[in-house]
Amino acid sequence: MVEEENTYEEARKKRVLENIKHLENLGIAKISKSLLDVAKSEHKRVNSKSSEKSKKKFEVVEVRRSSRAKNPVSYSDQVDETEIRSFRKRYCRSNESGRGYTGRFSSYEEQAQAFQKAQDIQSSLDNPSFVKAMVRSHVSSCFWLGLPSQFCKDYLPKGEAKMVLEDENGVDFDTVYIGSRSGLSGGWKGFAVHHNLEDGDALVFELTAPDHFKIYIVKALEDLVEDADEKVTGKGPNQAIESEIEGGGEEREEKTPETPQFEEKTPETPRYATRSRKSRKSRT
């Protein structure tokens, strides 16, 4: 048994030596050694870089010491006053630039009725005209009024021009017409605010001149004050004011209704028929 093991070991060693000689003859051993040397050098470089970074992170620095007392800490947010003022100015400007909506909402039937009345007015006009129903963007916030594109192409200038809006009372309002966007911008806000236009109102635009519109306003919701004056006086608000002026502006005396005075009557005591004592004695 011992001799067999020795022969096996000797044969294995011979085989290993032969393989090494064969690799040396081919030059593979030198290539493998060079590759190992390159890998070891790269590994050393990576380790050196990581060690340098770690040293920079944990570098010890001398703590700064000062004889001055530290300012007390304030836990309130420090906001620059100029920023607050500028924000207030911007907020005020944004509120002033647009008019808040009045909050009156008309129903679909009221809007349709106003639009139908406006179409009836348009049918009686000879000049080119169109009907425009008001929405919130027309009468509040941005105050931009877009006009029908086909009407603008046919009758209005292509560029920017001045446009005059005349109401039913003959008062003129200057506006700016922008042909590239087919709408009215500057000056339209003044017209809308002056006439208290609301969502659902219908307007008839009659082009009486190349730069002049005659506008007829049909309200979807009538003003409550005008309705009250008509119910009380039987006249419109303007007629009621004229009648007061003609009458010399006499003050109306408010007559309080007289309270009816009722007479308190004491209930009469019932009179029962009493027989005299003499009649009773005569019977007995």
Tokens of 55: 């040293």
Confidence of residue 72 (pLDDT cuts 50, 70, 90): confident
**Model pTM?**
0.46
pLDDT at 28: 74
**What's the pLDDT score for residue 116?**
94
Strand (E) or helix (H) holding 144: none
Question: What is the pLDDT of the chain when averaged over all its residues?
Answer: 73
Render pLDDT for 202-256 as a digit per residue (tens, 0 to 9): 999 999 999 999 999 999 887 654 444 444 445 544 454 444 445 544 444 445 5
d(CA 243, CA 245): 5
pLDDT band for position 36 (cuts 50, 70, 90): confident
Contact 220, 114 (CB under 8 A): yes
- Sequence-separated (6 or more) residues with CB below 8 Å from residue 20: 29
pLDDT of residue 89: 47
Q: Beta partners for 209?
A: 212
Residue-wise pLDDT tens digits, 149-203? 999 999 999 999 999 999 999 999 999 999 999 999 888 989 988 998 888 899 9
